[in-house]
């Protein structure tokens, strides 16, 4: 297979991938999930005209031409309204969120009125707002409030609650098994041997999977032999398998040969990207999808943003497009080579609101510390010429806490 551009590789990975079956989930457990069906409003919100201020509900006709001295006939508070119709010369004490009495068409704020026993003096009315929230001012019965596929953030959950929904249909959380390979790896807090390093990629990948709405299964690292890889994945019925390492063409890169014994058919053999050229994707004989990421942790995390994120989102029926913005270079960049380069970078907003981005000078794929300081990936196209300071560039935002 040829070396694929990022978009073509991503399209091949997503081809034929359908959202997982839906399940009903209580609202307080739906955060971060993918909505499986349109959310339709069952009634108007608010369901009645309501006051937006504390004050007095009156008829505009009683006070529009000059000061008025009105008789107080009752009170309307949130959750407890005034039952009668407001007549000429009458006023009702009203509070924020309370139902507007029938017959009233204006709310005079309390600062512009004076109570005198059982009467209230006000006016003349200004030409400003009437301080009334109309029925259906937020949404109407039958409105599509949320489309299927959106991820449920706190604001969308609030909207669902305002529509009276105690639960929502959401796509089942995709389970993603993460397997790192390498004789040199030891998982903290075990003591490494003289030729070993700490395995760090799976901690980040599992956290990213959870942040993207999935469930992560962090498998024990496998040795650099086919039997160990096969044994590690035996019985793992995850929706997606992610392998880290063993993805290139060296003597100890055994993952693809091991999975070929299980019927692996490659859809993507490698990607024209730096870091991350050895990234691959395929489907095993039993239908399980496998994403192979490079062993260097920075390479693995870059390609997780490019390919793992879209896969996890697509399994939930959500939009797999990356969170791309455009920013201006803070410093000039040299011409790029034959592979697209995703550079770890810092994104900033100036006093004028314009975004600027600065690539870190250290871009070695084995350096995790740079990723910990980055909040963006700066994308340099293949064979891009020198980019001067101030030039617009494409940036993928990283979701940082």
Give the pLDDT score at 225.
Answer: 85
| 60/356 Cα distance (integer angstroms) | 53
Identify the domain containing residue 164 by its residue range.
24-44+148-171
Q: Is 372 domain-assigned? A: yes
Q: How far is CA 261 from CA 230, 254, 268, 284, 285, in A?
A: 9, 11, 18, 9, 9
201 burial via Cβ count (<10 Å: 0-12, 13-18, 19+)? buried
Same domain, 101 and 231: no
- pLDDT under 50 in the chain at which residues? none
Same domain, 121 and 228: no
Same domain, 199 and 290: yes
Same domain, 118 and 153: no
Same domain, 266 and 285: yes
Q: What is the CATH number of the domain that holds 33?
A: 3.90.105.10
Give the pLDDT score at 282.
Answer: 97
| 256/269 Cα distance (integer angstroms) | 10
Q: What is the CATH number of the domain that holds 333?
A: 2.40.340.10
Domain count, the chain: 4
Q: Is 319 domain-assigned? A: no
Q: What is the CATH number of the domain that holds 92?
A: 2.170.190.11
Give the pLDDT score at 251.
Answer: 54
Q: What is the CATH number of the domain that holds 274?
A: 3.40.980.10
* Domain final residue, candidates 108, 133, 158: 133
Dihedral angle sign, alpha carbons of residues 336, 337, 342, 345? negative
Where on the phi/psi map is residue 80: left (φ > 0), alpha (ψ -120 to 50), or beta?
A: beta
Same domain, 227 and 364: no
Same domain, 223 and 275: yes
β-pairing verdict for 265-268 and 280-283: antiparallel
Give the pLDDT score at 1.
Answer: 64
* Domain final residue, candidates 314, 337, 369: 314
Give the length of the chain: 401
Same domain, 37 and 163: yes
Give the pLDDT score at 252.
Answer: 52
Q: Is 139 domain-assigned? A: no
- pTM for this entry: 0.87
* Domain final residue, candidates 271, 296, 314: 314
Same domain, 363 and 384: yes
Same domain, 305 and 386: no
Same domain, 163 and 183: no
pLDDT per position as a tens digit, 353-389? 899 999 999 998 888 889 989 999 999 999 999 999 9
Q: Which tokens in the block code for residue 198?
A: 């700490």
Same domain, 153 and 205: no
Give the pLDDT score at 250.
Answer: 57
């Amino acid at each position: 297979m040829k070396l694929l551009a990022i978009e073509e590789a991503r399209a091949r990975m997503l081809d034929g991938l359908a959202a997982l079956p839906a399940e009903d989930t209580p609202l307080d457990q739906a955060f971060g999930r993918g909505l499986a069906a349109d959310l339709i409003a069952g009634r108007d919100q608010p369901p009645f005209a309501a006051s937006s201020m504390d004050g007095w509900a009156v008829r505009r006709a009683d006070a529009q031409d000059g000061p008025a001295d009105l008789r107080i006939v009752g009170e309307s508070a949130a959750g407890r309204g005034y039952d009668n119709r407001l007549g000429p010369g009458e006023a009702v004490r009203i509070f924020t969120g309370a139902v507007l009495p029938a017959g009233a068409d204006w709310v005079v704020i309390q600062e512009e009125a004076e109570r005198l026993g059982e009467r209230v003096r006000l006016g003349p009315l200004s030409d400003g707002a009437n301080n009334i929230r109309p029925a259906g001012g937020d949404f109407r019965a039958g409105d599509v409030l949320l489309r299927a596929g959106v991820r449920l953030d706190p604001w969308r959950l609030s909207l669902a609650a305002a529509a009276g929904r105690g639960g929502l249909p959401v796509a089942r959380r995709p389970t993603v098994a993460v397997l790192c390979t390498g004789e040199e790896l030891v998982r903290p807090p075990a003591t490494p041997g003289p030729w070993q390093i700490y395995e760090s990629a799976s901690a980040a990948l599992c956290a990213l999977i959870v942040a993207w709405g999935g469930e992560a299964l962090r498998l024990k690292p496998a040795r650099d032999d086919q039997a160990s890889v096969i044994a590690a994945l035996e019985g793992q019925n995850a929706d997606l398998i992610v392998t880290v390492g063993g993805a290139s063409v060296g003597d100890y890169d055994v993952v693809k040969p091991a999975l070929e014994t299980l019927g692996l058919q490659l859809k993507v053999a490698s990607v024209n990207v730096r870091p991350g050229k050895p990234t691959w994707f395929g489907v095993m004989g039993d239908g399980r999808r496998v994403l192979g990421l490079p062993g260097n942790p920075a390479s693995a995390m870059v390609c997780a943003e490019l390919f793992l994120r879209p896969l996890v989102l697509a399994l939930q029926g959500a939009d797999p497009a990356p969170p791309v913005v455009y920013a201006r270079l803070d410093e000039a960049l040299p011409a790029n080579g034959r592979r697209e380069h995703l550079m770890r970078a810092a994104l900033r907003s100036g006093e004028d609101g314009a975004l600027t981005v600065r690539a870190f000078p250290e871009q070695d794929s084995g350096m995790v510390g740079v990723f910990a300081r980055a909040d963006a990936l700066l994308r340099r196209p293949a064979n891009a010429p020198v980019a001067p300071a101030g030039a617009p560039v494409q940036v993928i935002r990283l979701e940082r806490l």
